[in-house]
Structures are given as structure tokens and as C-alpha cells.
Structure 1
Amino acid sequence: MDPGASPMTVSDATATDSAIPEESLANVGLASQRELVWRKFTEHALALASGVVIILIYLVGIFAEFVAPRSPDFYDSSYTMLAPQQLKFWRTGEDGSTEFGMHVNGFSSQRDPNTLRRVFTLDENVVVPVGLFVKGAPYRLWGLIPSDIHLIGPLDPSQPFYLLGSDRLGRDVLSRLVHGTRVSTSIGLVGVAVSLVLGVILGGISGYFGGWIDNFIQRVIEFIMSVPTIPLWMGLAAAIPVTWSPVLVYFIITMIISLIGWTSLAREVRGRFMSWRNEPFVIAARLDGTSQMTIIGRHLVPGFVSHIIASVTLAIPAMIIAETSLSFLGIGLRPPVVSWGVLLQEAQNIRSLAEAPWLLAPGVLVIITVLALNFLGDGLRDAADPYT
């Protein structure tokens, strides 16, 4: 303050406070931590948009049978390596007028005289009407609810409908991609859930108790992190019996990814607990007779929740990439299980890259999902940071 300035009087302070809207004053100190985090998160436009994308992707995975036009095992050898059909919304009526109507054009085929391959060309004269909530192949949603209604599909199920083309066996790439979304994204969630439990419990015990317990857990973490991943997976893939069911293989792959991915989170939790275990509120709880596990669960972990949420969000992409990479190399999930990595195996040859680039659609979806999850994690980390 300027020495020559007169001190502020009570009336001046009252006048200054009156200049602040009463609504703002009423909200000061009343917002919960959740509300403050949400307000900060909504200011991050890219993270908010990424959250919407992630929600849509997981909704597609949850309702895969309803969203997919066909079963992932459906094939038609008459339409192999078919290029994607363009979905059109307007068509010309018999009287020459333009009217609304979703449709795709059919194909005409002929043999290439040099390669003897069947070559498909779009036929503008063949119109395949398309509708929403149409009847198609019967299915059981989540294996429980019988239905035959699909989100989109041809009004005549026998007509060709391949919005993302077909593969070498005549299977619909879009339907297989939708069903693969459920497997790949669920592995990320389940794997992160198991890693979260192991990381928080073991990391918390290591950081809180210290001593020989800390040394033992840290040596285990260092051993796991030092094991080369690819040779480990190759050995595990050779050890998995071929007679195991796809569900059991899926479970084993998920567990192995989880057991490898918990180490980084455990070290982060350990560091935070080591810095907090001598804080006054922890000492007060200990002197009050609170048990050790209660101190960890009710006093230490809640203060670390915001960082855990951000870490989990950033760990899901790593789980998805791990499953995709291993399945792509043939040492992860295998057919008849449909995942993004299994689908990318179809693009492991020159013919696919040269003549059927639409088979790379799973890779594009992996990139979109991983980027969206990373942007979402960045937004959550910034919003949950108490120092901001």
C-alpha cells in the first residue's frame, strides 16, 4: 500500500463487497470438489469432445448386436473383397422428381480376362433401399434378450449391404468392426480395473509401511518390469492349449495384461503415500486408534482419487494397444474371437494394402480411440489437479 494513501475504512470495504454480485458471493466455498472438477473439465473443449467420442464408442460396443447390420460370422462368397458402398439419402423417382430415401447402389460383376478375378463395379441402376430399425438376422443381445431388429440395414436382407466393404471371405467389415469394438474396449476396462486394484493396494501398502515390505514389493515390481514383453507373450501363446474355448482365452489374455500393467500405478501410489504417511491427519488418526487399513482406505486413498482417475484414463489406451498389437502378431486373441487386432491380421498382405485399403479401418478406429482417451485423460488430470 502507498504510505500516503488513507487506510480502507469499513464503509469502503462494504462498498467493494457490494460491487460483487450476490450470486457469486453465495457460491463461494459452497461448491463440492466434484463440482469444481466438473467446471474445470467443461472448460477443456477438446477433452469434452473426446469424452463424447469415447461414450459413443463404448455404446457401440455395448449394443454391438443391435448396431451391427449382420452377425460377425456371416459371409457371402458372391461378394468377396467388395469396395465400400456409399450411403445415399436422395434418389430420383420414376417421374424424375427428387425424393428422400436412404439407399445404396448395387454391383455388377465380371471376370478379369488376365487375372480371372471377379471385378465389381457400382451399378447406378440397381437401388438397394436402406432403413433404420429394420428386421434382419435374429440375435440375442448380451446373450440374453432375443431380437431381430438392427439399427441400420437393407430392407431386403438378401441384398448386398457393405458400408465398409467386405473381406476375402465375403464377410461384412462394418459388422465385424462393431463386434470387435466390444472385445477390444472391454479388455481395456477389465484390464485397468484389475491393475487399479493391484496398483492401489500393493502400492499403498509399500508406501505406508515401508521397511522390508516396501523392499519386497519394489523388487517384485522391478522383476516384472524387466521381463521382455514380446518373448514372454510368445511363450505364453505357445503354452495356451488350442482346445481352450475363446472365452477362456479372452479371460487369460486379460488377466496377463493386467498382471503386467499394474506396476507403474503402484509406484505412483507408493510415492504419494510415502509423502503423506507422516502428515498430521495421519498421525492423529493413528493416535486415535484407527487401524492401518482404515487409514489407508479412508484417509489416504480418497485424497489420491483424482490422480487415480486420470491415471486409469491414460492406462486404458495402453491396454487397448497391447491387445491389438498382440492379436495382430498372432500371439493374442485368435479367431473366431473378433477384435481390432484380429481384424488387422486381414491387412497383413500386399493385396490388402493395394486393393482393399478398407481393411485398415480397425487401425483407424484404434487411433481415434487412443487419441480420444489421451485427450480425455489430459482434461481429467488438469481438472482434478488441486494446485490449479
Structure 2
Amino acid sequence: MSAENKQATTVAAAAAAEPTSAAVNMANLRGGIEYASQWELMWARFKKHKVAYWSMMFVAFLYFVAIFAEFLSPFNPEDPSSSTVYQPPQMVHFDGIKPYVKKYDLTRDPETLAPIYVEAEEKTYIKFFVKGFEYKLLGLIPTDMHLFGPDDPSHKIFLLGSDRLGRDMLSRVIYGARFTLSMGLIGVILSTFLGIILGGISGYYGGKTDWFIQRVVEFILSLPTIPIWLAMASAMPRNWPPHLVYISVTVIISLIGWTHLARVVRGKFLAMRGEVFVIAAKLDGCSEGRVIFRHMLPSMASHVIAAVTLAIPSMILAETTLSFLGLGLQPPAISWGVLLKDAQKISVISNAPWLFLPGLATVLAVLAMNFFGDGLRDAADPYSH
């Protein structure tokens, strides 16, 4: 074979071994396709819902406040002072970049002896990262560092006023967020567990099991909520410590709040148990537990998350209602409902309207969680536009 033929054969073999540009482009195209998961699609839809997005940020801020309540509180919420009873909120002023408040002088009405506060010219500067009362950060690390406080430890500042015992309302509202928000979250976790288990069993097996569980659900739904709360809370001994009362109230709220989620889960299971992927899993020899928890529940996880988010405000309102009526948490425990007990009298509200601030905190938290839940529900709906 001549040299020219050998060279031509070599070039042809190399060309045959090298893929064409069209094949390379097709391979790159196939490799470059990106597939979005269900959660990524939900997040993309959720971010377009601006009100829900910023509500989520506000809810995250509230739970941050609840977790780091000791660090964010300038004073001990149980520290009374007879010289600062019902002191009004102090306005923050600025001396250049230094924030300060003006001191109040306490006087008494000569006829009624009611406290009267007169703003003085003496200034109390506010410093950041100051030392105060000792506590354990996250329950583990002993420290006395606080986000802000007065530059003089002998002075006090009341940015949200004080209560009938001269205690700082800002510190008490911050501490109250821990009990109220955690109770709503823990109560929803317990009720979600009951709702998924009982609703899943009802929808998956059907028959007599479904009939019995649905009759229990209908019976609970037919009962008036507040009288049931009152009856169950009244059965708790009055000498129980605050942590036992906290656990008991959480369990009571959870036992009432699982029924709506159970109905939702039952309906989803009834619709899914005839789907192709469920039948294929059964034919493949999967156990009933694997079919339920590995195949059916993940398919409705987004709906469960949305339902849970919408249920937390109901739990918060339930705790606030029970504590406000004196049947939930009791002092020395601090929650927004306990703080609102001081605002039951019209005369107190007229003289110290800042005592109603825990109610405002409750309204803002419930609204933010409702907006957050609505956004999640819309994002989880595959048919929403």
C-alpha cells in the first residue's frame, strides 16, 4: 500500500472514531438540562408572594427573639420596683449618634394618690452589649451579657413602660414570646402527628376503621371548643409547677386540634390509594408501612406543611385565651396570655394602655403566620397561577 493510501486510511479512521459536531451538541444539550424538584418549584412560587415572604421573615424574627430572650431583654422580667409602678414608655432621643432617654420623676395626685410621672431633663444613655442579670445562654452557657441597657446600672429604662409592680414590659413581652410561640409550635407538632397517623389509617384502610375514626372526628368537632378547654384546664391541680401546667395545656390544645388535619390526610389517602405508583409499590412487595411513609406521605408533604403553618396561629390563640381566662399558664410563668390578664380592667387600660402591647404582639404574630401559611398553600398547589 502506498504512503498516500495509508495516510488516507488513518484520517478516515480518526474521523470515524471522533463524534460529529451534531452528536457533541446533542450530548451537551442532554447533559445541560436542569430538572427542578418539587421543593424548588414551591420555593420559586413562594418567593413571588411578597407578603408571604416577608411574613416568613417576621415569623423567623419572632422565634429568634423567643430563643434568645435572655440576651435581648435589658432587665430581669421578675424584678419589681415600687418607684416605677405604671411608668409610661420612654421616648428614645439621640445625642449625635448616642441614644438616650429622659428620666421620669414620680409624683402623686394629692387626692387619689395615683402615680403621676413628669419628664425630667436628666438623661440616661443606652449602651449596647452591656452587663446585666446573669442567665444561661441557650440554657448552657453562663453569661451576663445583654444586647442593650442603661450606661449606669443603677438606672432603668422602660421603652415599653412598666406594669403594676414596676417590672419592665419590654422584657416581659420578650420572655412571653418564648412560652406562647413554643407552645404553638409544640402543640402543632403533636396534633400533626395524631392527624397524620389517624387520618392516614382512616384513608388507607377504609371500611370499619374509617367509619370509627371519622365518627370520633365528628364527635370532637361537634363539641364547643372553649367549654372543652375550660373543663380540661380546670381539672389541673392548682399546686402544679409552671412547667407541668405548660405541658398539660400543650397536650390539651393538641388533643383538640388534630381533627382538621386528619380529615385532610384522609381525603388525600383515599384519592391516592388507587394511583398507579401505589399499586406498583404493593405489587413490588413493599410493606404497608413503606407504602404509606415512603410513597404516599411524601406526595402530600407540601400540603401537610401548609396545613401545619396555618394551624400554629390557632394554637397561639388557644394558649392566649386559656391564660387570659386564668385557666392556662399562671404566674410566675410569663406568656402573652398571662400578661394580658393585667389588661382585663378598663380602668387599668385607660391609665396604662401600654399593658395591651402583648395583645398587639399576638395579633401581629397570628397575622404573619396566616399570611405565611397562605403563601405556602398557594405555592404547594400545582394548579395555582
TM-score normalised over the length of structure 2:
0.90
Gaps of 5+ in 1: 1-21, 92-98
1:120 is aligned to: 117
Q: Given the alignment, which residue of 219, 225, 243 partners 1:223? A: 219
CA contact (8 A) 1:346 1:359 kept: yes
Aligned-residue offset at 1:43:
0.8
Partner of 1:156: 152
% same residue: 53
Letter in 2 for 1:194: L
Query: 1:128–1:46: structure 2 CA closer, same or farther, 3 Å change rule?
Result: same
Secondary structure at the counterpart of residue 126 of structure 1: strand
CA drift of 1:298 comes to 0.8
Determine if the alignment matches structure 1 residue 142 to structure 2 residue 138: yes
Name the CA distance, whole Å, in 2 between partners of 1:28 and 1:219. Answer: 50
C-alpha distance in structure 2 between counterparts of 1:238 and 1:193, whole Å: 24
Give the helix-richer structure, 1 or 2.
2
- Cα drift, residue 235 of structure 1: 2.3
Q: Return the offset for 1:100.
A: 2.3
- Give the Cα–Cα distance (whole angstroms) in 2 for the partners of residues 383 and 30 of structure 1: 18
Match of 2:332 among 323, 333, 336: 336
Where 1:301 maps in the other structure, the secondary structure is: helix
Deviation at 1:239, TM superposition (A): 1.7
1:215 shift after superposition: 0.9
The aligned counterpart of 1:110 is 107
Structure 2: stretches of 5+ with no match in the other structure: 1-27
2:345 to 346, 349, 356: 349
Alpha-carbon separation, structure 1, partners of 2:139 and 2:187: 22
Q: How many correspondences in the alignment?
A: 358
Query: 2:65 is matched with which residue?
Result: 60
1:248 aligns with 2:244: yes
Q: Is the 8 A contact 2:323 2:338 kept in 1?
A: yes
Q: C-alpha separation between the residues in 2 aligned to 1:26 and 1:165?
A: 63
Which whole-Å CA distance do the structure 2 matches of 1:154 and 1:26 have between them? 62
In 2, the alpha carbon distance for the partners of 1:224 and 1:67 equals: 41
Q: Which amino acid aligns with 1:65?
A: E
* Equivalent in the alignment of 2:382: 386
1:199/1:170 CA distance change after superposition, 3 Å: same
My pick for the range that moved more, 165-174 or 35-44, is: 35-44
Alpha-carbon deviation of 1:26? 8.4
Q: Does 2:86 match 1:81? A: yes
CA contact (8 A) 1:313 1:373 kept: yes
For 1:49 and 1:231, locate their aligned partners in 2 and report how far apart those are by CA, in whole Å: 36
1:232-311 mapped onto 2 (5 Å cutoff): 232-311=228-307
Q: For the Cα contact (< 8 Å) 1:105–1:122, is it kept in 2?
A: yes
What CA distance in whole angstroms lies between the structure 1 residues aligned with 2:108 and 2:322? 38
Conservation of the 8 A alpha-carbon contact between 2:230 and 2:322: no
What's the CA shift string for 1:137-170, capped at 9, x where partnerless? Answer: 1112233221111111112222121100001110
Higher-Rg structure is 2
Residue-by-residue CA offset, 1:259-287 (whole Å, 9 max, x unaligned): 11000000000001101111111111111
The alignment's TM-score, normalised by the length of structure 1, stands at: 0.89
Shift of 1:34: 1.8
The one-letter code of the counterpart of 2:65 is V
**Which residue, 354, 360, 382 being the options, matches 1:358?**
354
CA displacement 1:83-133 (0-9 Å, x = unmatched) = 001122x22xxxxxxx3211111011222122122211111x110011111
Call closer, same or farther: CA 1:298–1:110 in 2, change over 3 Å: same
Contact 1:196 1:265 in 2 (8 A): yes
Q: Is the 8 A contact 1:189 1:316 kept in 2?
A: yes
Is 1:47–2:52 an aligned residue pair?
yes
* TM-aligned CA deviation for residue 308 of structure 1: 0.6
Tell me the CA shift for residue 236 of structure 1.
2.3
**Of 205, 210, 213, which aligns to 1:214?**
210
